[in-house]
Every structure is written in structure tokens, then in C-alpha cells.
Structure 1
């Protein structure tokens, strides 16, 4: 007993030393990141405004770029970074508080995102989302490939009403995949165990989620922002137009990708005969659909109808979304307490409102037009199909530098759209493809999007595996959407 005390003390001292070193390393990293943000911001601040750009333009660009770097490095939580950027813009006079800085909070594109977060809560709270997933597992789950298709269809069904692709992937599908994996003896404890089933299902779903997010205007939080930026360019992207344009390439990609994944990243367990029975047991425990599930389902169907026919009926998507929330509140499927504690929704409101306000101000100050002209100049002289290929590849793979789909859309969508149109690319075609790409980029790295972070955090992958498989999946998506999507948009008359 007396001999163990020095040993324990030594071990404790060593552990304490390691903690101090880790804390010091973290603090040093934070200091370096903040220094980079401040340095880049100051450099851009003192760049003279180019001809045609408002004198405040480069100041706004400096603050905007500094804010985007803050979102990449994350020295503070995302909403905090946005509010700091807004505070700097206001105190320096770059944005007037009265009629410039807070305009983003009145943008309807942002409020449809917030509204849809609450609608997605309905799927989680009532259990309808889980029930839908289990039904597909029961029908398709006799093989690992069948399970992957079951998860893909679940994601597709939930996508139109779930703008948080992270909530869809992490709140509904992830728990079911973990359960199915562990039932089949696939845990994250060893490489051999995780490769039995869990790695394949999680990686496939991470890539599938990028496809379903691209298929609907309301399937990913950044899509309504792309819609807004396109509208600012005179391009109308309503819910129905987006869904119709994405329908064929999206369905083809959903059919092709799980099969490709089973070849390039195969599980060692090919058959899962117990999965359907496992799903039946869970469904039995859930019992018949509750009244609240039926209300949620009917509200969801009504919203789909209103979103598809909204243009003809004169009902915009945001109005329809709030109508749906009204139904869920009156029927007590949702309560104000549920909505109030949804921190993701309110954080999204602050984050998006600030960034959209900044982006709008950059356009007003002619900065976006100037950057777009420079980008267009880089592809000048090329035939528009080649010019757009260069631009879309640049837009896609620059995402290695971003940790959020939405951050990239806010920073670059309008710039690349302007460059594409200036290069002669049909405006509607360019707006749609850049919109699709803003979602398909979400699986190329383990930090590329919220769902990627959730799945990587499961412990079923190494970083090297994700970079390798994510790159191959990205190539598959680019080929499918590039070839099939272009042909389909040509049939629709969008390429002219």
C-alpha cells in the first residue's frame, strides 16, 4: 500500500503534465488562428477600392472574409463569430445599424430555414422519422446493400421537410445504423470490426445525404440562400423548378452511389438476415401510429403540395412553412417549449441573418460584381461549356478549405454565378448546377458538413479513409450529375 503511493503520484503528475501541454498547445493554436484572421482582415482593409467599387467596399470585404475565416477556424461558436463580425462592421461605420446591418433578419429565405427546423422537430418528437426508417429496413434489409438503399430512401423521404441535413442524418438515420451495425457485431473498436458493416453504411449514408440535400430547395439550410442570390441575378428558382431539375440526376445518383460504394468500400458482411426481424421488433415496440404521427404525416404531405404548387397559387414557400408550423402548434404536435429549446434553429437565424446581410451589402457596394468580373476574366475566350466546367470544378474542390456548405454558398455562390453568366453560361442552368454542387461538396472530407462530422465522430473511419473514399464518391457524383443532369436540363429547356 505504501509503495503504490509514489507510483500513483508519479502517474498523476505525468497526466497533469500532459494536460498542461495539451492546454498550452490548444491556446497556441487559438492565438495563431486569431492572428491569421486579424492579419488577413487588416490587409484587405487597407487595399484601395478598385474602380467602380464603393469606398466602403474593401472594408466590408475585409470584415466578411475575416468572418468566413472565423467560421473555418472556429475560435468561437458559429453564431458568436457572426455577431463579432457584425459588431465590427457596425462600430467601424461599414454597415449602418439602422438600415444596413440588420436587414438580413427580415429575409424570408432565412425564415423558411428556421421554420423547417421546427417542422423537422415534428418527425423526431413524434417518432415518425424513426418509423419510416424501420419500415424500409424491414422491406430492404436482408443484405448490407439493401440496408444502404433503405437508409437512402429514408433520407429521400425526409429531405423535403428537413433543412438541417445534420438533424436528418444524425437524429434519425445515424442511431438506426449504429444499432444495426452493433447487432451484426460491427463496432468501432477494431478496424476489422468496423469494416464488417458500420463503416460501409455510415460512409454511404454520408455521401447519400449530399444527394438528397441537393434534390430539394428545403433539404439543406444553404439552398434558400442560393435561391436568394440567384434571384438577385434575375434567376427565379422556386421549389418546384429546383425539385424538377434535380429529380432525374438525383434518382440516378441514389441508385448508382450505394452500389459503387459497395465496390470501392465494401463491408465484409454481405448478408444481414436478422436486420428485418430487428426492425419488426422495434416497430412492434412502437405500436400503431399515434394521432400525432398521423397529424405530422398529413401536415408534411400538405406542405409538399403547397411547395410544389405555391407559384401557381400565389403562396410562397415561407408562408407555407409557417402555416405548417401553425397546424403543428394548434394540434400540440409541437409546443412553444419545443421550439424555444431548439438552439440549432435560433443559432441558424443569427448566423444566416448576419452573413446574408453582409453578402447583400457587398453586392450593394459593387464588390461582388467586381470579383465576378475578375473570375469571368480568368475563363474568357473559352466556350461556355468548358468555362463552366472549370468554374464548377473550382467551386467544388475549393470546399477542402471550408467546414460548412452554407459558409461556402454565402461566400462564393453569387461570385461564381456572376462569373458563369458573364462567360455565356445560361443563367438558369448555372444557378441550378451551382446550387446542386453546394450540397454535393458535403462529403469530400470529414469536416465538410454537419453530417460528415457526425459520422466521422462515430469512430468508424480514419481520416485517410474518408479523404480517399470521399474523393471517389465526389467524382461519381460529378459524373452522374454532370452527364445526366445536363441531358435532363436540356430536355427541360433550361440550357438556352
Structure 2
């Protein structure tokens, strides 16, 4: 029996054990059975025998086949507004790459800041930050925009692992990109595909997080981290090459080769500015965040900046719609059937001797470091976010604070290992670090990032009135 068959057998065994355990007092049989299917589905996403979408559909089919849910309810997740907001953002983000607008902005930052290796790092980080609000695919953002820029810089200075020159500048830049990418993902509701999932789980528990609310909460600790990470990296793991005066000229040459901004780039720029503006002002104007995303997509289609064939060919978006819709539906049913309230009350009793501050700090640390066991942020959020939020609220934590902080931490752990996020294997695969060094740097920076968000973030959230 091979490894794949063993994992599938393990999934079946766990599912059967959970299904046949007697229903605890205070729960209906339907609620317990829904939990068994949900846990088995999430474990299948973690073990990943098939693509996430395929495993999620198996869970949905099982729920209907076993009579736990009628098919009309099982398919309700596909009508959820959050699903289509994130899908539209995926489609729009493709325009940043195909039109060359992302590369143009990156080269512009490098032309201004690229006089030394630290400036180059900040240029790449600022490029990531700029596109984060409208690019929920971290893999597309890093792989399609940031990584090509990084490789251009490394190549220009002959920093190549195969030649033993990785420490000239490449090793420094690649870790700056990874560590800061986790921060940019944490700063906006739409900068990582799992963030809307977390927000939806929070909504199921009565906490509605807005785009502006998330961004406001994350902006101060996030910007501080983006400033400090390259600086600390420069001091602790310095590049051999400190001065890079030629890079500014190289960037200017690249911009000259690209010529003037094209019409399609201009359309993408207008769409980007318009969407971010409406996401901020949407609650005041009465415009739903999903309507804003769809408006941006329609504008790009009407102006022929992107084609419908390109939308249909965006596999990652359709893949995300599938697994996202299933998990949203299952989480909603767990809450509706009373499992979440039963679980949170049970956990609250066991933690009754602790204050809410201690409880939430412990939860955040467990939530962060348990990601060493995970290869997917989405699977991690699906497995732990709802339960941890319920425990925090039951312990007395302000609901909005707990929901946003857990949402932010759902991104911070994405820089820990070489498999912790979509960008991680892309950047690790470039070969600039050994596995041991990669993990060491990830752990060291966790000791910097977590205190910043707990203490500086905590003070900022106090000023905002979140607690």
C-alpha cells in the first residue's frame, strides 16, 4: 500500500470514528454528523490527496449522500457574496501581470530606491504592498510580479546559487520578499484568498469585518514590520554587496524599453485606484465590497483590457471558488446547527480561570506555531479560525478585536517554512538558502513580528477602541 492510499484510508477511518461516536449531550445528531464531515473535509485538504477543490466537492457530496444536508442547502455557498468578491479580484489581478503594469511600478520603485541593497529590498516590498489590496493570489503577486523583478536584480549582480554567489544580494532579497509578503497579506481583507474566508467565519459568529476596518487595524503594526524587516535582515543576515548604484540605471533602461504607459496599463491603474477607493468608502456610499470588485472586472472587460477567455482560463480563481464555497457553506451550517456555540461554551468552562488577554495571547501563539504542521493557510484557517474565535469570545475578548487579530495572524505564519504559503516554494526553489537556514530565519523573524503585532498592535487597537 502506497503513501497516497494510506492517507486516504486514514481519512476514511477518522471520518467513520467521528461519525459513530455517540452525540454529546447538548447537540443534535445532525450537528455532530456535520462536524464529522467538516473535520474530515478539512483533514483531506491538509493531506491533499487531490486538489483542494476536488476534496471539497467530495465533502459536499458526502454531506448530501448521507442525508446530513439537502442539496439546495449544500450549494448555498456558491451564492455567497464573498466568493465572488475574491473571484473578481483574482480575475482583475491577472491584468497587473499581462499588461506589464506590475513590472512598470516595480522598476519605478527600483529606479528611485535602488542605490543600495537595502533600498532595493524596500523597492520590492513597496511594489508588493501597492498591489496587495487588489491581488488576493499571493502566488500570482509573488510569482508574476515580485519574483521576476527579484531575479532581474540577482542576475544583474551575478548572484547565482549555482556559482556560489548567492550571498552577494540574492539570499538577502529573497528573505526580505518572503517575510514582508506575509505582512502585506495581513494588511488587507483582499490581499490573501483566506482573509475573506476568515471574515466570513467571523460573520457566522456575529462579527462583521469591513475592508476599511481590517486595513485600519493592520496599518500601523504592518507598516512598522515592513520598515523593520529589511533593516533587521540587513543587520543580521547582511548581503555581501552593499552598494548597487548601477541598479537604478538598469531600472531606468527597463522602463525606457517598456516605453510610455499603454492604454491597457492605464485602464488597470484606473481600476485599481477606483476599487481601493470604493472599498474604503463603500460602507458610507452603500456599495457592497463584492459589487466594487465586480464593477472593476466589468470595467476591464468593457474596455477590452482583459478578455472573457482570460477570465475563463484563470484556473486558480475557479479552483478557489469551488473549495471556498464548500467551506463557507459547511461553516455556516455548523453555526446554524448549534455546534459552534456548544463548542465555545464547553471550551470557555475549561478556560474560566484565565483572563481574556491571557487566553487570546495563548491562542495566537498556538495558532501561529501550529502552522509548522500545515502546508496551506486556507486549510489552517478552515481548521482552527472559527474554534479559536469562539474560545476567545467566550473568554471575554472583544469580538471585533478577536476576529481581526486572528485574521491578521492567519497571514503572519506564512513566512515560517518552505511550504507555508504559495510564494514560499517559489522563492525557496530559487536555491538561495539551505533548508536549515530558511527555517532558522523564519523562526527568528517570528520573534520580531509577533511582539510587534501584540504590543504595538495592541496599543493601536486600544486607540481605535477595539478594546
How much has 1:162 moved relative to structure 2?
A: 0.6
Q: How much is the aligned-residue C-alpha RMSD, in angstroms? A: 1.4
Q: Match for residue 409 of structure 1? A: 381
- Which one is further off, 59-68 or 276-285? 59-68
- 2:158 corresponds to which residue? 185
Distance 2:441 2:350 in 1: 31
Aligned counterpart for 1:89 among listed residues 63, 66, 81: 63
Moved more, 118-127 or 376-385: 376-385
Cα distance in 2, alignment partners of residues 376 and 270 from structure 1? 53
Which residue of 248, 251, 273 corresponds with 1:279?
251
The match for 1:126 is: 99
**Residue 78 (str. 1) matches residue 52 (str. 2):** yes
Structure 1 or 2, whichever has the larger Rg, is 1
CA distance in 2, matches of 1:49, 1:467: 42
1:109 and 2:46 matched: no
- Following the alignment from structure 2 to structure 1, what is the Cα–Cα distance between the partners of residues 52 and 320? 9
Q: Which consecutive segments of 4 or more residues in structure 1 shift more than 4 A? A: none
| Pair 203,375 (structure 1): closer, same or farther in 2 beyond 3 Å | farther
Partner of 1:156: 129
Cα deviation per residue 1:208-248 (whole Å; 9 max; x = unaligned)? 01111111111111111222222222222111111111111
CA distance in 1, matches of 2:362, 2:125: 30
For 1:485 and 1:175, how far apart are their aligned partners in 2?
33
Decide which of 305, 309, 312 is 1:333's aligned counterpart: 305
Q: 1:491 to 1:90 in 2, by over 3 A?
A: same
User: How big is the shift at 1:181?
Assistant: 0.8
Q: Spell out the pairing of 1:236-247 with structure 2 (5 A cutoff).
A: 236-247=208-219
Give 1:433 deviation, angstroms: 0.5
Conserved? CA contact 2:110–2:251, under 8 Å:
yes
Per the alignment, in what secondary structure is the counterpart of residue 70 of structure 2? coil
Provide, for residues 154-201 of structure 1, a one-character-per-residue CA deviation record: whole Å limited to 9, x for no partner: 0110011111111111110001101211221111325x4222222221
Contact 1:369 1:415 (C-alpha < 8 Å) held by counterparts: no
With normalisation by structure 2, the TM-score equals 0.97
CA distances 1:400-427 after superposition (whole Å, capped 9, x unpaired): 2221112222222111111101101111
Structure 1 residue 105: Cα displacement: 0.4
Structure 1 segment 90-489 matched on structure 2, within 5 A:
90-98=64-72, 100-189=73-162, 192-489=164-461
8 Å Cα contact 1:114/1:346 also seen in 2 = yes
Give secondary structure in 1 for the equivalent of 2:128.
helix
* 1:64 counterpart (33, 38, 44): 38
1:55 deviation in Å?
Answer: 0.2
1: distance between equivalents of 2:124 and 2:225? 14
Aligned equivalent of 1:16 = none
CA distance in 1, matches of 2:225, 2:190: 19
Q: Say whether the 8 Å CA contact 1:235–1:428 is kept in structure 2.
A: yes
Whether the 8 Å contact between 1:402 and 1:448 is mirrored in structure 2 is yes
C-alpha distance after superposition, 1:11-58 (max 9, x if no partner): xxxxxxxxxxxxxxxx72212222222222222111122122220233
Map 1:33-52 to 2 at 5 A. Answer: 33-52=7-26
